[in-house]
Amino acid sequence: MRGTFPTRLAALAVAGLLAACTTLGPDYQEPEVSWLADWQSDLYGQLREPQRESDVDLSFWWQVFDDTTLNGLIETARRENPSLQIAGLRILESRAQLGIAGSNLYPQLQQVNGAATYIDTRRNGGAVDNDDSFTNYQAGFDIGWELDFWGRFRRGVESADAAFFASITNQQDVQVLLAAQVADLYFSYRTTHALIDIARKNAEIQKRSLDMTERLYRGGQQSELDLQQARTQYLTTLSSVPPLEIRLTQTRNALATLLARPPGDIPELAAAPKELPGVPGVSVDEIPARLLARRPDVRTAAWQVAAQSAQIGIAEADYYPAISLLGSIGWSGTSGGGRPDSTVLGGGPAFTWNVFDHGRIADNIRLQDARLQQTIESFQNRVLLAAQEIDNAAVTVVKTRELQAVLVQSVAAAERSLELATTLYVEGYADFSRVLDAQRSVFSQSTDELANRGNHISAIISLYRALGGGWVETPIDQLIPAPTRDTLQQRSDWGDLLTAPLPVPPAGPSSNPGSSK
């Protein structure tokens, strides 16, 4: 059936409006970092080791230590760590938020309503005669669709889309931090344990010297001064053990927390090697600038810029009228006589327009623009801090490696000096102070050598973390543990949000809204 002229005119008007739809606000452009393309740490060449047959897989960089205990601890932390699970839940949260934003692209009002009213009217002071009672009922269906004439809703989806991708890269960044923290605490525990062993070993050596001087003193061959000096040195070395034991327990407890366990013994540590690993080489397959740009925290900062950029368009849309299409159908009637049943149909366009806002809209646009600039500055600062972290870790790796070669020789020289000083003292060619000095030197140099080995390992861990290594794309079924997913599903209807595969974040934020749907 052909429509009336007004109907056809309204349809043409709506078609014209839709054809003229525009999207307000700036399209996202990733902030430019002018120095990044050509930047490379001055120490990069010293980190490369040409003799290595293959480069390190940054996703599993800790495998360079060839330590099955460490591999198992990191795997456990990835399954159990609360911070990583919270990051996974934030992905689900942002995924639901994206769904909310996307629903605004469709009719926002689709509402069924109904009511029934029983009316009983009595006259003559409540007498039964002349009463009038009936039931009034009505039902209807209303639909309202605010057209996305200025791109308000498209910008909303674009913002939610970017926030969703930011939550994914943030979870990847938590993986990076978690792997580095587990490895750092693991080797810190082993280093502290080795320092305790060195202290006790040196205390045993000094105890033998104390026993010897005590025998000589009681035999009248040496003064009490040698005896008291030997006792002082022995007790001083013993006193270094309790603080190390405190540090050992605190380090173990911190590691237990990362594993989602209460403070206490960690059985896996019993299988850890006693000696610290040899100094592993460092090799990466790309210049730091490219690795830096791929760091999850840098990508998160970029997605946050994209999310905020879209907010300006949403704010600007308030300057213009909101154009809607409205429609309704209703039924009403009365029982027991009275007016007949009726059906009411209605529909047509409508608009609302905030003509006078006293500067509220302009100030909101300024607010969103200021927030955008803040996220841009945060992105720039994040890149600078990332470069700083890479360079700091690189110089620490290089210099602790250089220092290690010196300290190894220093320990050998100190041990030889102690051997010679002890022999000369026993033979009467040197006083006891030479022995004490040599013992202090052995203890000091051995401690420094071991501590530097631990610092070098920690620097290697920091370098791989600074390069953004240690994360993998996490499937949706591994994002949070199965018991937690079951709890969520029992508590609320999650539909397919707990099972639908996660999208892979593009290399750069997309300007196409809904790209992750």
The per-residue pLDDT string of the chain (517 residues; one tens digit each, 9 = 90 and over) reads: 444 444 444 444 444 454 456 888 889 888 888 888 888 777 666 676 554 545 678 899 999 898 999 999 999 999 999 999 999 999 999 999 999 898 888 888 888 888 888 777 766 555 555 556 778 888 888 888 878 888 888 999 999 999 999 999 999 999 999 999 999 999 999 999 999 999 999 999 999 888 988 888 887 777 888 889 889 999 999 999 999 999 999 999 999 999 999 999 999 999 998 888 876 667 666 677 888 888 999 999 999 999 999 999 999 998 888 888 888 888 887 876 556 678 888 877 888 888 888 889 999 999 999 999 999 999 999 999 999 999 999 899 989 999 999 999 999 999 999 999 989 988 888 888 898 899 999 999 999 999 999 999 999 999 999 999 999 999 998 888 889 989 999 999 998 888 889 988 887 554 444 445 4
Amino acid 129: pLDDT: 52
Amino acid 90: pLDDT: 96
Nearest to 505 by CA among 477, 471, 469: 471
| Contact criterion met (CB below 8 Å) for 303 and 165 | yes
Phi, psi of 343 (to 5 degrees): -120, 135
Tokens 């059936």 correspond to 1
Bridge partners, residue 433, by sequence: none
3-state secondary structure of 128: coil
Distances, alpha carbon 510 to alpha carbons 129, 294, 513, in Å: 76, 16, 7
Tokens 């009719």 correspond to 107
List alpha helices for 259-359, DSSP H. Answer: 288-293, 296-316
| Contact criterion met (CB below 8 Å) for 196 and 248 | yes
Element (H, E) at 342: strand 342-352
Q: What is the pTM of this model?
A: 0.85
Using CA atoms, how far apart are residues 509 and 302, in angstroms rounded to an integer? 7
What's the CA angle centered on 178, arms 248 and 284, to 5 degrees?
105
What's the CA angle centered on 41, arms 35 and 45, to 5 degrees?
135
Nearest to 454 by CA among 183, 101, 53: 183
Using CA atoms, how far apart are residues 281 and 106, in angstroms rounded to an integer? 57
DSSP state of 53: S
| Contact criterion met (CB below 8 Å) for 316 and 150 | yes
Nearest to 82 by CA among 484, 477, 476: 484
Beta strands in 25-131 (DSSP E): 109-121
Using CA atoms, how far apart are residues 180 and 470, in angstroms rounded to an integer? 8
Residue 397 identity (one-letter amino acid): V
Amino acid 383: pLDDT: 94
Using CA atoms, how far apart are residues 255 and 40, in angstroms rounded to an integer? 34
Amino acid 6: pLDDT: 44
Q: Which domains does the chain have, with CATH numbers?
A: 23-114+152-319+360-491 (1.20.1600.10)
Using CA atoms, how far apart are residues 312 and 369, in angstroms rounded to an integer? 6
Tokens 């639909």 correspond to 143
User: Measured in Å, how far apart are the chain's first and last C-alpha atoms?
Assistant: 39
Amino acid 2: pLDDT: 46
| Contact criterion met (CB below 8 Å) for 297 and 471 | no
Using CA atoms, how far apart are residues 438 and 428, in angstroms rounded to an integer? 16
Q: Is 300 left (phi over 0), alpha (psi -120 to 50) or beta?
A: alpha
